[in-house]
């Protein structure tokens, strides 16, 4: 079974700073997808960024980028120039693209607070 | 495109009752998954439906069931409610097809409180 670990329950940074959220996972699969989801307070969960395991290049979406280390089974999220709107719970998630088993396995989340 | 919608948004039920939650996926999405979110257990997968068939089921008791209709809308049902069923129930839809990216798009959730 796959597991996802987020070792930082809470983090806080000053606005405009850069912050990195950690995520490690355990799997015996070679083909899989990794995701970071953001859940703002009392608001909908939204997808931040996606990484395919067979792609060596790290994914980037505007101020959000990942550091994907496949051998180390590490998938960290870097938020540059943090903004107040980045305050949210961040969940790391794992999925294997196997027909009939396409479920997301989530980590426990990191509560990120951006301080004005 | 309209996003994933879930109804109702909030629900209060009494122990022993049953409840039905509804989810309408993004237009064109044929896969619908359900997750339970609680402070203690986090986000846990309940089940996934594709073309009206349950493809995958999480580790939940048989009191939790679901179905999907021909228009891809999905419902989940919880019978004989227990206090521990109090949670935010999230529905997510995903596109299908060979070029799919396996991303799941979440609805706002239904917050169920069991008293």
For residue A97, pLDDT over 90 is answered with no
Q: Per-residue confidence at A42, pLDDT binned at 50, 70, 90?
A: confident
Let me know if A35 is exposed, middle or buried by CB neighbors in 10 A (0-12, 13-18, 19+).
buried
Q: Does B107 touch chain A (CB under 8 A)?
A: yes
Task: Tell me the chain A residues in contact with residue B3 when contact means C-beta distances shorter than 8 Å.
Answer: 44
Each residue's pLDDT tens digit, A53-70? 998 899 999 999 999 999
A16 backbone dihedrals φ, ψ, rounded to 5°: 85, -10
Residue B96 to residues A97, B4, B49, B51, Cα–Cα distance (Å): 12, 15, 12, 10
Q: Output helix, strand, coil percentages for chain A, rounded to the nearest 5.
A: 5, 50, 45
**pLDDT above 90 covers what percent of chain A?**
83
**Contact between chains at A100 and B55 (C-beta distance less than 8 A):** yes
Each residue's pLDDT tens digit, B56-113? 899 999 999 999 999 999 999 999 999 999 999 999 999 876 556 688 999 999 999 9
């Amino acid at each position: 079974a796959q597991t996802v670990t987020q070792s930082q329950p809470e983090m806080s940074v000053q606005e405009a700073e850069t912050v990195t959220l950690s995520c490690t996972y355990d799997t015996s699969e070679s083909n899989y997808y990794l995701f970071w989801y953001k859940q703002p307070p009392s608001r909908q969960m939204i997808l931040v960024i996606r990484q395919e395991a067979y792609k060596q290049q790290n994914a980037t979406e505007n101020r959000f980028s990942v550091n994907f280390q496949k051998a180390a089974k590490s998938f960290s999220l870097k938020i540059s120039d943090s903004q107040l709107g980045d305050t949210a719970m961040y969940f790391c998630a794992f999925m294997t693209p196997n027909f009939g088993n396409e479920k997301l396995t989530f980590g426990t989340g990191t509560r990120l607070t951006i301080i004005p | 495109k309209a996003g994933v919608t879930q109804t109702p948004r909030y629900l209060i039920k009494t122990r022993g009752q049953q409840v039905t939650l509804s989810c309408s996926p993004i237009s064109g999405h044929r896969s619908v998954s359900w997750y339970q979110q609680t402070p203690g257990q986090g986000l846990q997968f309940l089940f996934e439906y594709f073309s009206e068939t349950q493809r995958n089921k999480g580790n939940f008791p048989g009191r939790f069931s679901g179905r999907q209709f021909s228009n891809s809308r999905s419902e989940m049902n919880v019978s004989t409610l227990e206090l521990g069923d109090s949670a935010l129930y999230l529905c997510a839809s995903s596109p299908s097809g060979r070029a799919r990216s396996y991303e799941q798009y979440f609805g706002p959730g239904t917050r169920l409180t069991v008293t």
